Chain A
Amino acid sequence: MTALPLISLRSVSRTYRTDGVAVTAVRNVSFDIAQGEIVAVMGPSGSGKSTLMNMIGLLDLPSEGAVHLEGANVAELSEDRRSSLRARSIGFVFQSYNLLARHNAIENVALPLVYCGVSRKERLARAEQTLQAVGMLHRAHHFPRQLSGGEQQRVAIARALIASPLIVLADEPTGALDSRTGAEILALFAALNRTGQTIVMITHDPGIATQCRRTIRLHDGELVSDETVAELLPRRSAAS
């Protein structure tokens, strides 16, 4: 394959300095993510998963090494440019949903488009379509507190998708959900991936990782394995 990887990490390390003590959260990590992949990043808490995600999501920069997004070294972009890239190219899904409590579902979904310079009318029209795609249109005018956890996460996924990002970054997306709802959310991610959406999912749950074709394992900030399975394991519901 000669196609340029979407994301490319080369010898990436990230060191934090707190109270004069240097802590290395990520150490010498290299991997590529290609268009259309669904990747699980696994590891116990403190293994550097979140730091890695912050760097892939352009919220943080490596201390050493380089992160490339579509071939561009993100460290060489201005802060403003990285922000604009976040708006257009990255879709975040958080464990705790992170919806704005004082805005209803459709306003939350439309929010990234505010930072893409899209008019209000078009924002709301596109937010409606996206809510429809995640099956949440009937809750468009509900506020986050009026929605269940699974519903909030669907709204958050719609928000991540609205700007048609290159990559969806999900940080423990099922961590706050019961197993049945979690499975529904995972099924939604799988369906999205089948339409060609690149997804990187951070998790410490091996059950979730088995649903992804590729799994990257971290331990103490170091990459310990990067495995791709030829075929996804049959889904449990299909097996039984």
Chain B
Amino acid sequence: MTMLQGFQIALHALRLNPLRSFLTMLGIVIGVASIVTVFAIGSGAQLRLQEQIRSIGANVLMITPGAVYQGGVRLKDGSKLTMTEGDVQAILEQIPEIQAAAGSLAGTAQVIHEGKNWNTTINGTTTGHFMVRDWQLASGRYFSGAEESGAGKVVILGSTVARELFAAGDDPIGAQIRIMKVPLEVVGVLDRKGPAQDDVAFVPLSTAKLRFLGSASNINRDSVAYIIAKVAADGQMAGARAEIESLLRQRHRVPAGQEDDFKVQDPAAAMEAQQGAIRTVALLLVAIASVSLLVGGISIMNVMIVSVTERTREIGIRRALGGRMRDIRLQFLCEALVLCLLGGAIGVAGGITLSMTVARMAGWVTSIDSEAIGLALAFSIATGLIFGFYPAHKASRLSPIEALKTE
């Protein structure tokens, strides 16, 4: 008997009892579907993080305000803007590893162009910001020195904002838009950098202070909300970070032993750590899903053992008619394999459907890779072989004389 004949016989036997066959493979279906879904969600989350890491730029340090003490009261991180433009200058001038640095103030506002308007982040910064983040222009130019120092009424748009405010054929460069009733000229449109990054409009820092964000409380004339700085090389990150910390402690006159009023972070490293965490969680979930595959395998073994018992007479007949022990074994092994493969295929289809549903309903990024599908199918074949072997072996060992006597 050939493998093909084995599969034909198996399909025939399974078709006779479709409900039972389906229930038998349900465990495999659920196991494979969960593995595929977990993989899709996990690798989607990783893709998204990688995208964010890329969008921050390589070797970027971010300095944000830390906790402050006011009259002995410890205030929350960031409740006071402790960084200044002077800090930016000092970092640039005194730390040789720093290639570029920029301070930013940010808020949200409505931007208006003719009939269209859009709510977005307004980021007041300097041209250094784009250098730090390796962010190229799609068209136009960066801010000029005069615009930066003189609160020029100019704006550089992120690609999302440009798309929302301008019709497809329109060139935004030179157009007038309004933010909080202030007319601004669009001088540049940035390249795409990532869905989360492109929804922003940049104005010169001085413009932001003077016209939009300066009236916010707690702001001294020189304050910036955060500073980003680019370190020349990957290996210099730790050194540059330590130098920035000591420079700022000195400038901010933080007494020895007291907490810094700022924080220096490496966002890419933090995200990489996050990515590691996601991978761990995904592996854990895959492990849990594998348990369901195991349970599915056991249920297949259980049903196969019952089936062998029920069909003892059939086995006796087949042996009498010339079926060898290995033919009987192959027949039942094929049944288990068909159950697992069919269950695996249904599971893959279910997993793809489920992860696409998750992507649509929850707005998560999911990514279905052929590797995960291959792995899930390999798992189900292995399950069929492992859990089908014992019942098949048992069937092949039946004595044909005894088997023919059973009712």
Contact = CB atoms under 8 A, between A and B. Distances in A.
B404 A98 contact: yes
Contacts of B326: 80
B314 interface: yes
A100 B401 contact: no
Contacts of B12: 102-103
A116 interface: yes
Given A59-B401, A114-B1, A115-B327, A100 B322 contact: no
Interface in B282-324: 313-314, 316-324
B320 A86 contact: yes
Nearest to A88: B322
Interface in B310-351: 313-314, 316-327
Interface string B1-18: 110010011001100100
B318 A111 contact: yes
Contact of A84 (B314, B316, B324): B324
A83 B317 contact: no
Residue of B316, B318, B321 with highest tally of chain A CB at under 10 A: B321
B325 A57 contact: no
Contacts of B404: 94, 98
A209 B215 CA distance: 119
A181 B320 CA distance: 25
B322 A116 contact: yes
A189 interface: no
Contacts of A117: 1-2
Residue of B2, B8, B400 with highest tally of chain A CB at under 10 A: B400
A57 B316 CA distance: 13
A87 interface: yes
Interface in A77-135: 79-80, 83-88, 90, 92, 94, 98, 100, 102-103, 111-112, 114-117, 120
Contacts of A163: 322
A163 B317 CA distance: 16
A86 B401 contact: no
The size bracket of the interface on B is 20 to 34
B1 to A, nearest CB: 6
Contacts of A111: 318, 321
A137 B123 CA distance: 88
Interface string A57-72: 1011000000000000
A54 B322 contact: no
Contacts of B317: 98, 100
Contacts of B5: 114, 120
A83 B401 contact: no
Contacts of B8: 120
Given A59-B401, A98-B404, A79 B321 contact: no
Nearest to A80: B324
A87 B327 CA distance: 12
Contacts of A54: 401
B313 A83 contact: no
Nearest to A169: B320
A60 B318 contact: no
A159 interface: yes
Nearest to B313: A98
Nearest to A123: B5
Contacts of B13: 102
B325 A100 contact: no
Nearest to B331: A114
Interface in A123-177: 159, 163
B322 A86 contact: yes
A92 B327 CA distance: 19
B322 A80 contact: no
A90 B5 CA distance: 22
Contacts of A159: 321
Nearest to B316: A98
Contacts of A112: 321-322
A173 to B, nearest CB: 15
A83 B325 contact: yes
A112 B317 CA distance: 10
Contacts of B320: 57, 59, 86, 92, 98
Given A88-B322, A159-B321, 5 more contacts: A86-B319, A98-B320, A114-B9, A115-B321, A117-B2
28 contacts: A59-B319, A59-B400, A79-B325, A80-B324, A80-B326, A83-B322, A83-B323, A83-B324, A83-B325, A83-B327, A85-B322, A86-B319, A86-B321, A87-B322, A94-B404, A98-B316, A98-B317, A102-B16, A111-B318, A111-B321, A112-B321, A114-B1, A114-B9, A114-B323, A115-B318, A115-B321, A115-B322, A117-B2
* Among all A-B residue pairs, the 9 with the closest Cβ atoms: A87-B322, A115-B322, A83-B324, A86-B322, A112-B321, A80-B324, A98-B317, A92-B320, A115-B323
Interface of A: 54, 57, 59-60, 79-80, 83-88, 90, 92, 94, 98, 100, 102-103, 111-112, 114-117, 120, 159, 163
